[in-house]
């Protein structure tokens, strides 16, 4: 038995994601039985999945892997918040406190990779959840999935804010030897105040950078995405410079950045957060984010500053992966590569 509480009395048969959605629709998350709150307020629900490989459109990659749903890191800008709404859960507290664990994920993935129709395309890992959030220490779904990719010699890029990724440097290196493997550590800023406000459940930014150092020293191709840069919180020239310098000092192989975008549940959540914490900023934000993206001029200005800083501190821009043929509209976190 796992040593942390689950939402359901699971019995022999794990509920599917649809079962979970139905229960929540009927009675809210309070209707989920056997629920206890962990010290960190998260509740975990084991579910079974029918597929692991997820096809996406409009991204620089076609296939993604996400062994968990929801993320205890709880970043206020997280675009994945809006996906929780599909399960009748809200994009606010429930995104960060009700985590679905796809218990049979690795077995399903191994079967899918074995199919004759699978041609070994590039896979983006961790695009809608953090695959190294704390519960990974228990389930090891991410580690075991990478082992499956090594066996099938399948290229992969992985994004995380979790220093736990260093635990898996052996399998990451093994994958690099037989296919290709890039680790994108997400460190939007090293500014402590912005970090505490925006990413309440994540490891300290310098801890993440130390993880990058450890991966690079071990021979893993690892760099940093400053995604997303959040206007007013982490966008000043001084904060950008401190962050790029720290990234360079930790030996990252590359740095990239994108300015935050907002849509659907993520937009609603972020605006509520601003209203609560920084009400005087709301009118400016509503103007800046009349649309999904901040105005192009603004984004170009930020990207321009980062280019200058890359040169100043001698850290490369992120190289385009072979599967990326043309630049795409900048997005944030997992979508921005």
Strand partners, 124: 64, 157
* 80 or 106: CB nearest ligand SF4: 80
Identify which of 310, 295, 314, 293 has the alpha carbon closest to the alpha carbon of residue 240: 310
Residues 142-161 that bind ligand SF4 (CB under 6 A): 161
- Of 59-67, 68-76, 310-318, 319-327, the window that binds ligand SF4 (rule: CB under 6 A) is 68-76
* 73 or 299: CB nearest ligand SF4: 73
Residues 268-297 that bind ligand SF4 (CB under 6 A): none
Please tell me whether residue 73 binds ligand SF4 under the rule CB under 6 A: yes
DSSP per-residue string spanning 266-291: HHHHHHHHHHHH-GGGHHHHHHHTSS
CB of 158 to ligand SF4, least distance (A): 12
**Which one of 15, 74, 134, 265 is in contact with ligand SF4 (CB under 6 A)?**
74
* 80 or 175: CB nearest ligand SF4: 80
Half-sphere exposure of 146 (CA within 13 A, CB side): 28
**Which one of 7, 42, 59, 80 is in contact with ligand SF4 (CB under 6 A)?**
80
The vertex-190 CA angle with 185 and 194, nearest 5°, equals 110
- Of 24-32, 73-81, 163-171, 174-182, the window that binds ligand SF4 (rule: CB under 6 A) is 73-81
Residues 292-321 that bind ligand SF4 (CB under 6 A): none
Site string (100-139) toward ligand SF4, x via CB under 6 A: -----------------------------xx---------
Buried residues in 100-110 as b, exposed as e (16+ CB within 10 A): bbbbbbbebbb
Please tell me whether residue 94 binds ligand SF4 under the rule CB under 6 A: no
CB of 94 to ligand SF4, least distance (A): 13
Please tell me whether residue 90 binds ligand SF4 under the rule CB under 6 A: no
CB of 224 to ligand SF4, least distance (A): 14
* 23 or 67: CB nearest ligand SF4: 67
Please tell me whether residue 91 binds ligand SF4 under the rule CB under 6 A: no
Whether the link from the prior residue into 57 is cis, omega within 30° of 0, is no
Q: Which residue has the tokens 């999935």?
A: 145
- Of 36-44, 69-77, 165-173, 305-313, the window that binds ligand SF4 (rule: CB under 6 A) is 69-77
CB of 128 to ligand SF4, least distance (A): 7
Identify which of 214, 156, 163, 154 has the alpha carbon closest to the alpha carbon of residue 185: 163
Identify which of 118, 110, 98 has the alpha carbon closest to the alpha carbon of residue 52: 110
| Residues 45, 126, 129, 36, CA torsion sign | positive
Distances (CA, A) of 139 to 8, 103, 132: 17, 8, 10
Question: Do residues 182 and 323 make contact, with C-beta atoms less than 8 angstroms apart?
Answer: no
Please tell me whether residue 76 binds ligand SF4 under the rule CB under 6 A: no
Element containing residue 64 per DSSP (H, E): strand 63-65
Q: Which residue has the tokens 């389930």?
A: 139
- Which residues of this chain interact with ligand SF4, rule CB under 6 A? 71, 73-75, 78, 80, 129-130, 161, 333
């Amino acid at each position: 038995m796992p040593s942390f509480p689950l939402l359901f009395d699971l019995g022999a048969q794990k509920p599917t994601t649809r079962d979970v959605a139905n229960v929540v629709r009927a009675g809210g998350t309070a209707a989920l039985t056997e629920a206890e709150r962990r010290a960190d307020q998260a509740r975990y629900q084991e579910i079974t999945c029918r597929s692991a490989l997820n096809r996406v459109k409009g991204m620089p990659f076609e296939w993604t892997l996400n062994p968990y749903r929801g993320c205890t890191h709880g970043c206020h800008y997280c675009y994945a918040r809006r996906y929780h709404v599909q399960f009748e859960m809200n994009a606010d507290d429930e995104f960060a406190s009700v985590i679905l664990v796809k218990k049979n994920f690795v077995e399903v993935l191994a079967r899918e990779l074995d199919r004759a129709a699978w041609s070994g395309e590039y896979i983006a890992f961790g695009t809608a959840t953090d695959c190294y959030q704390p519960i990974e220490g228990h389930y090891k779904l991410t580690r075991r999935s990478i082992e499956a990719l090594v066996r099938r010699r399948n290229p992969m890029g992985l994004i995380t804010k979790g220093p736990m990724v260093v635990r898996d440097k052996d399998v990451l290196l093994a994958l690099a030897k037989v296919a290709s493997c890039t680790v994108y550590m997400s460190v939007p800023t090293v500014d402590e105040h912005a970090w505490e406000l925006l990413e309440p459940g994540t490891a300290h930014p310098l801890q993440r950078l130390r993880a990058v150092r450890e991966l690079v020293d071990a021979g893993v191709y690892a760099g940093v995405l400053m995604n997303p840069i959040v206007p007013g919180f982490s966008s000043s020239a001084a904060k950008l410079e401190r962050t790029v310098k720290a990234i360079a000092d930790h030996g990252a192989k590359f740095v990239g950045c994108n300015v935050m975008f907002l849509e659907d549940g993520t937009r609603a959540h972020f605006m509520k957060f601003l209203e609560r914490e920084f009400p005087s900023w709301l009118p400016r934000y509503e103007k800046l984010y009349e649309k999904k993206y901040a105005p192009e001029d603004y984004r170009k200005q930020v990207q321009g500053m980062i280019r200058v800083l890359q040169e100043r501190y001698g850290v490369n821009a992120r190289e385009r992966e072979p599967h990326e043929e043309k630049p795409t509209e900048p997005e944030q976190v997992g979508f921005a590569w």
